[in-house]
Each structure stands twice: as C-alpha cells, then as structure tokens.
Homo-oligomer: A and B are copies of this chain.
Amino acid sequence: MEETLNDKNSDKDSRPLRIGIAGLGTVGSALVGMLEENATQIERRHGRKIQVVAVCARSRSRDRGIDISSFQWYDDPVALAGNGDVDLFVELMGGEDGPALAAVKAALAAGRPVVSANKALLASHGVELAQLAEDCGAQIGFEAAVAGGIPVIKTLREGLGAASVTRVYGILNGTCNYILTRMGQEDISFADCLKDAQELGYAEADPTFDIEGFDTAHKLAILTSLCFQCQIAADEVFVEGITAISQEDIKVAAELGYVIKLLGISQRSEQGIEQRVHPTLVRANSAIARVDNVLNAIILETDHVSELMLSGPGAGGSATAASVLADILDIARGQSIPPLGMPTGELADYRRAPMRAHKGGYYIRLDVIDVPGALAAITSRLGENGISLESVIQRPDLNHDVHSQDSDSGNGENSRTLVLITQDIIEASLRKALDQVADDGHTRGAPQVIRIESF
C-alpha cells in the first residue's frame, strides 16, 4: 500500500487524498461534516488535505444537514469504488453481503485502500478481504467496526509490542448495556427497559440482533482473530442474549455482590479457543462492572501488559466517524500493516473449544415445587455430578414476579425460587445434573443458568 500510494503521489505531501464515501447515514454524514469543519487542522497536522470527491447513498435528496452538491453522486457503490478519481473508498453502508461486499472487493481489487465501519462484513468476510488487500497492495482499516469510538483495533495491531493476548473480554453492545444498567438501577422489567431504549434511539425497531447477542458476537470474532492470530470464526461463537434476564436475577446477583453484564469473552483453553457471548455475573467491584449505560469497554489480558482496559463510546455518529477518520489518516500517511495484524497466510486455523468443556462458576435459579425433600433431592443430584456449591439461597422474600403467573398453576402446588452459586465446575457436568433435576420433577420450567466470571 505504502508503495502504491507513494508511486501515485510523488508529491504526496501536497496532493489531497480524495475519498469516496458509500453510505450517508449517521456516521457518513458526521464524517463529511467533520472533514469540512476540521479541514485546516487536518492539513496542518498531517500535511495533507482529505477531500471528499464522490458519495453514494440510498436517497440523493434526503436532508442530512450537510451539503453534498459538490460531490460526484453515484447510485451504485460498486461504480463509486471503481472510480479512478477516488484514492480511498469509505464503506459505511452496512450489510454482511450484497453491495457493501461487492464495493469493498472492487476497491481493493483495484489496489484502492478501504476504510469500513461494517462489523458484519468484517466478521463474515474479514479474512478474504484482508487477503485481497494484501494481494493487491492495498490497506483496509476497520477501527470503527468494533466498539465505535475506542481505538482497540489500533491497539491490537500496533500497540502491544510482542505481548501475547491470553484473554480478551468486553462490553461490546451499548443497547444491552443500557438495558442491563437500567434494570440494575430501577425496578423495571426487561420488556419495559427495551421499550425505553427504543424510544431513546438506543435500540432498533427490531432489536433482535443486539439483544440476542449477535452484534457482540460479530465484534468478538474480529477481536479474537486479532488477539489470537487466527481465522475469524463468527459462526463458531457461542451466543446467549439477555432476553431471559429478570429483575429477580439482577437483585439476587446484587445481594451476592455481583452485577450482570452481557460480555463477549474469548480465551485460549486446552481444547482450542473459547469464544462466547452471554450474560455474565461479574463482581460489583470489578472494573468492567462499572462500565454503565451505552458505554463499551474492552479488557486485554496479555503476558506482558497484565491488564489493559479501554472504555468509551461504542457507537454514535461522531465517535464512530472519528475512528473512520483515524483510519483514513493512517492510510494518508502511508501506513502499511497487515489488516489482521498478521499476514493472512500466517493466520492459524480456528479451533473451537466446546462450551460443554467450559470451566467456571454458575448462578442457577430454579423454581422448586414446595414439597418436603425437594432441596435435598436437588442438591444430591448436583453432588453426584461433582458440583460443589458456594451459596444456596432460598428465602420467603425472594421475588416471584417473573413466574407469578405460573407459580400457582399446574397441579396446584406452590413453588419457591432457589438460587445456587456453584464453585468452578465443568459445564457438561452441570447440564447433566440439571437434566436429572428436571427429570426428578421437583422443579417447574427451565432453570435459569448464568455464567460467573471472577475478573
């Protein structure tokens, strides 16, 4: 890339870098505005102008608060990406395949550097695109694709020296973090919280992708590849969303000194790499527990830098646009670095460590039918499977809100909430024990199981 740019621009320092932007939503519009407002500052600082020359979006006439009349207009992003007047192609359309993929490929194939904020695209095609970029001598920057305003891609690609990451985890979805934070602060249900988040613009009309954990999984898969120098394996991420988290869980967790967060976690184990996204009980006094509302945070544990935490805005037009611009400026300066931190050919295959082999603590909430001997029967089953308990909580004041509609139904027996906290155990043993408990008929409904991490 460096050579390509230098070849093209023998007077690199004086010639503007001409960019084409496909996608003029919140981020694209913010980027155009930012380039205009900061034009003088950018040139003074980087010795080079960045100039938008062409744009492409769904609607030409929509009012975005920016003037696009001086830019070439394209209806087709692929045509924009192939425009010889464009030195760098910025993809802000979104979408895992389709026009975004086609346009990015077209730009790279022409040796044209690309900056993208598209996590779905990167999660699904990142290795292929990195390979194409390397083959064609182009760069691809995607800082904004993971945790919008937090420079975690730069840190992983450039900032750690030879430090080797042993575990990465984080809060990567602002929607989920907002919902869980509010549920922890107020006596409000998941459903009501989600409705508020939608009204505030923190959640989409169809929030599935966020609240079921898929958005987090995409970002985690990209981080995993950079951390462990392996293929991106978004389909191999174990994913559980937050829809089943109740006020009861949050309150009992708080009593026990925990906070519930939706985390993406990736770590090496003997079986391979464990990539997982799930609600997690974290200690209330841990750094990650304090990352609230729509903030994101990533913690990198390495052999040399024991623990590095980056936190900040994970989304938002201007924060994300600032990351896009940082990538553009790196490329304008002639940066040359393998997109995934390591030449694509050197990436290891991804070997998935099965969740059944996961070792950790568990929070288990059971709806136990109120008959003598039920507790003894349940704890015996756990004991038979080698599961040691750290805490057992069965109290009359445990809230039954979530199950109130069921608790006196069925065969007319009452039920009580029982919460168990296990020591570190193997997930397969727990699943087996819980199946046996269900078969024994002392519980009602499915057990609530939430993993615990002791960061």
Contacts and interface: CB of A to CB of B under 8 A. Distances in A.
Contact of A305 (B304, B305, B313, B343): B313
B313 A311 contact: no
Contacts of A305: 149, 312-313, 318-319, 322
Contacts of A47: 343
Contacts of A329: 158, 161
Contacts of A287: 290-291, 311
Contact of A158 (B34, B154, B285, B336): B154
A8 interface: no
Contact of A306 (B164, B313, B336, B342): B313
B38 A162 contact: yes
B322 A162 contact: yes
A150 interface: yes
A326 interface: yes
A330 B150 contact: no
Interface string A362-405: 00000000000000000000000000000000000000000000
B312 A309 contact: yes
A47, A151, A160, A291, most chain B CB atoms within 10 A: A151
Contact of A304 (B42, B151, B322): B322
B334 A336 contact: yes
A229 interface: yes
A116 to B, nearest CB: 15
If over half of A's interface residues share one DSSP class (helix, strand or loop), that class is named, otherwise mixed; here it is mixed
Given A287-B290, A311-B287, A335-B335, A346 B45 contact: yes
Given A151-B155, A158-B330, A163-B322, 14 more contacts: A2-B2, A34-B304, A37-B162, A41-B164, A149-B304, A150-B308, A161-B323, A162-B322, A287-B311, A302-B322, A304-B321, A305-B312, A308-B310, A310-B310
A447 interface: no
A268 interface: no
Contacts of A151: 154-155, 158-160, 308
Given A290-B287, A313-B306, A44 B321 contact: no
B318 A307 contact: no
A333 interface: yes
Contact of A313 (B307, B322, B346): B307
